[in-house]
Amino acid sequence: GNSVTQMEGPVTLSEEAFLTINCTYTATGYPSLFWYVQYPGEGLQLLLKATKADDKGSNKGFEATYRKETTSFHLEKGSVQVSDSAVYFCALPMIKAAGNKLTFGGGTRVLVKP
Amino acid sequence: DAGITQSPRHKVTETGTPVTLRCHQTENHRYMYWYRQDPGHGLRLIHYSYGVKDTDKGEVSDGYSVSRSKTEDFLLTLESATSSQTSVYFCAISERQGSYNEQFFGPGTRLTVL
């Protein structure tokens, strides 16, 4: 079935540094791809998505490009802030996506220090 | 923010006792999901519902049951809690069929089984 692998954390970096979180996927066809973010003590919320190959999703200064050649959807931000400290999850629909079921990566914890 | 609440937000119980977690939505979305979140495992789907009285198993359904008697409520029951069910439980909702439709998450319930 469809699966996603993302880099393990924690990732620790200083404010204004460049952030990359790697995500690669295995899928049948070209499903939509998602990045979710979980701030401390909260549920997940959608950060961005891309619905087809070569699409770029963007939100809050974060970007990710759907690259079918490398089966990747890496998350990037050019200048992080302390408020970006969170856990980030890459996700895609399960192979039998009836009911919009998603499969998630293991999450990458990011800590931004002032 | 999507109108999703979970109750209780925190619970401590003892092994062998029954536990019911409640998810309530005000969005009238068709699909509802229960996940558990554990370190190193990301989010794993327990059960989901695609309508009133229509439910199906996810990838880690053993030891859990669900019920959905009305659109807005989705209950997760641990018939006899075990320490391995100590986790953070998230409810999510989704509106329509289709792989491009994201899920919206509740704030989570932290369950500790002693």
Q: Is the dihedral of CA B43, A109, A50, B106 positive or negative?
A: positive
What is the C-alpha R_g of chain B? Answer: 13
- Order of strands across the sheet that contains B4-7: B4-7, B19-25, B73-78, B64-70
Q: Which of 31-90 (B) contact A at CB < 8 A?
A: 31, 33, 40-45, 48, 50, 56, 58, 90
Cα of B78 to nearest chain A Cα, Å: 21
Mutate to test the interface with A, among B60, B91, B102, B109 (most CBs of A within 10 A): B102
Three-state DSSP at A82 gives helix
> Residue B97 is encoded by which pair of tokens?
């069929």
Length of chain B, in residues? 114
Cα of A29 to nearest chain B Cα, Å: 12
Q: How confident is the model at residue B102 (pLDDT cuts 50, 70, 90)?
A: confident
Asked if B36 and B46 count as a contact pair (C-beta separation under 8 A), the reply is yes
B8 vs B112: CA distance, rounded Å: 12
Q: What is the pLDDT along chain A (114 residues), one digit of tens a residue?
A: 788 999 888 999 999 999 999 999 998 888 889 999 999 988 999 999 998 899 999 999 999 999 999 999 999 999 999 999 999 999 988 765 556 788 899 999 999 999
Q: What is the pLDDT of residue A98?
A: 59
Instruction: Report the residue of chain B nearest A95, measured CA to CA.
Output: B99
CB contact under 8 Å between B50 and A98, yes or no, is yes
B25 vs B6: CA distance, rounded Å: 9
CB contact under 8 Å between B42 and A106, yes or no, is yes
CB contact under 8 Å between A49 and B100, yes or no, is yes
Mean per-residue pLDDT over chain B, rounded = 92
pLDDT digits (tens, 9 = 90+) for A37-52: 999 988 999 999 998 8
Please report, as a single letter, which amino acid is at residue B60. V
Instruction: Report the residue of chain A nearest B100, measured CA to CA.
Output: A32
Q: How does DSSP classify residue A29?
A: S
Cis peptide before B39 (omega within 30 of 0): no
Q: Is the dihedral of CA B4, B31, A90, A33 positive or negative?
A: negative
Q: Which residue has the higher pLDDT, B60 or B95?
A: B60
Residues linked to residue B87 through DSSP beta bridges, in sequence order = B111
Which range (A9-13, B69-73, B94-98) has the least confidence? B94-98
Q: What is the pLDDT of residue A1?
A: 77
Q: Does B107 touch chain A (CB under 8 A)?
A: yes
Mean pLDDT, residues B25-32 taken together? 92
pLDDT digits (tens, 9 = 90+) for B32-59: 999 999 987 888 999 999 899 999 998 8
Instruction: Report the residue of chain A nearest B106, measured CA to CA.
Output: A43
A45 vs B106: CA distance, rounded Å: 9
Asked if A8 and A105 count as a contact pair (C-beta separation under 8 A), the reply is no
